Amino acid sequence: MNSNNITNAPYPKLIVDLKKLRHNIDVVLENCNQANISVCGAIKGFNGLPKAVEEFAQAGFSQLGTSRMRTIKELTMLGLNAKYLLLRVPMLSEADDVVKYADISLNSDLQVIRALNDAAAKAGTSHEVILMADLGDLREGFWDQEELASCAEVIETELDHIVLKGVGTNLGCYGSIKPTVAKMNDLISIAELVETRISRKLDIISGGATSSYVLVLDQSMPERINHLRIGEGILNNYDLPEIWGLDIENMYQDVFTFQAEVIEVRNKPSHPVGEICIDSFGRKPEYKDRGIRKRALLAAGKLDFTLDDKIFPKLEGAAVIGSSSDHMILDIEDCKEEVKVGDIVTFHISYPSMMYLSNDPYVNVIYK
């Protein structure tokens, strides 16, 4: 059993391996540098845990990006100064904080940009923006290129406290749209349309996130794309080779791991006994009758990781068969190793579990 008891802090634990993190950061930065692409390191996947952010801050990203103003504010209060990029288009109501704590933000609404301009004027500062174009993924961004271009003109000619740095897009989020060379070329034409209108070159053409990084790896990224915003590909590429065909040779897949303690081990039927109604989350799962099986009960649950099909025991032969808010059930019938009460089980985790676990006050974060 893995009893990697690094400190005496109670379980469950989220283990963050800072050396492996730094290694992954360096690999991604090197690949992007070779393609003349600067990178915004996205820290939202682990909710900006400060020690991990320090690794990002030392590494040579052009910005550090997160979606929540609160994270940027808290990191700044901790003295972690970096060039922060707000990844989610700002709320009208947070304009004052955005210009105070973030250096640059992604934007898709002229009314909000005017509010940022007013806030920056009031604070005696200026704020940089990237205008987002929606190329079909249907989350944020201008749908109409003409509207984007005229917004760019307004910024350029009327808004003295806003600096238009460039254009960007986001793919592979809501609409599951794959970043392709054609999509990148669409973004470049939008950039060129804007450049014609404002009679100067844009500094940044931001081609997307980890899913666009795939084009860098297969060396098909069009030259004018010079910026990406990457989190998952650095932090948690456990399932990315399958999802995006990402080449993760030389990358660690276990920067973040999860540990929970066994509180019961018993042979029990695999099919519930009695009249089946609903589970603790109001659902009607299907149960397969596999006879009597050996199971371990662990002291962690959906309150911690939310999705029990996105965390994977390292213990050979073990499988997660279900969970409720505070319990997880592992089938251990096929494990060669003996599992007993008090043992610690380590899990590989994927991006969503990392996101939930790093935001959970019941989970102790351990750095190694």
Ligand X SMILES: *Cc1c(COP(=O)(O)O)cnc(C)c1O
Which residues form the catalytic set? 44
> Nearest approach, Cβ of 176 to ligand X (angstroms)?
13
Q: Using an 8 Å Cβ cutoff, are 90 and 112 in contact?
A: yes
Q: What is the dihedral of CA 344, 350, 351, 352, to 10 degrees?
A: -70
The count of residues interacting with ligand X (CB under 6 A) is 14
In which region does residue 118 sit, left (phi positive, over 0), alpha (psi from -120 to 50) or beta (all else)? alpha
| Nearest by Cα to 10 from 359, 312, 348, 260 | 260
> Nearest approach, Cβ of 110 to ligand X (angstroms)?
19
Structure tokens of 8? Answer: 């005496």
| Nearest by Cα to 308 from 258, 235, 243, 264 | 258
Q: Which residues pair with 14 in a beta bridge?
A: 258, 365
Residues 81-100 that bind ligand X (CB under 6 A): 87
Q: Could you say whether residue 24 binds ligand X (CB under 6 A)?
A: no
Question: Please, which residue, 11 or 351, has the CB nearer to ligand X?
Answer: 351
| Nearest by Cα to 159 from 83, 107, 94 | 107
Question: Please, which residue, 170 or 323, has the CB nearer to ligand X?
Answer: 170
Region from 38-46, 144-152, 186-194, 248-256 binding ligand X, contact rule CB under 6 A: 38-46
Q: Could you say whether residue 49 binds ligand X (CB under 6 A)?
A: no
Q: Could you say whether residue 346 binds ligand X (CB under 6 A)?
A: no
Question: Please, which residue, 210 or 257, has the CB nearer to ligand X?
Answer: 210
For residues 213 and 222, what is the distance between their CA atoms, to the nearest angstrom?
Answer: 12
Name the 3-class secondary structure at 183: helix
Residue nearest to ligand X (CB): 231
For residues 178 and 123, what is the distance between their CA atoms, to the nearest angstrom?
Answer: 40
For residues 198 and 337, what is the distance between their CA atoms, to the nearest angstrom?
Answer: 67
Residues 100-159 that bind ligand X (CB under 6 A): 106
Region from 41-49, 143-151, 219-227, 276-284 binding ligand X, contact rule CB under 6 A: 41-49
> Nearest approach, Cβ of 296 to ligand X (angstroms)?
32
Residues 166-185 that bind ligand X (CB under 6 A): 170
Burial of 168 (0-12, 13-18, 19+ CB in 10 A): buried
> Nearest approach, Cβ of 199 to ligand X (angstroms)?
28
Question: Please, which residue, 72 or 209, has the CB nearer to ligand X?
Answer: 209
Residues 175-234 that bind ligand X (CB under 6 A): 209-210, 229-233
Question: Please, which residue, 139 or 327, has the CB nearer to ligand X?
Answer: 139
Residues in the site for ligand X, rule: CB under 6 A?
42, 44-45, 67, 87, 106, 170, 209-210, 229-233
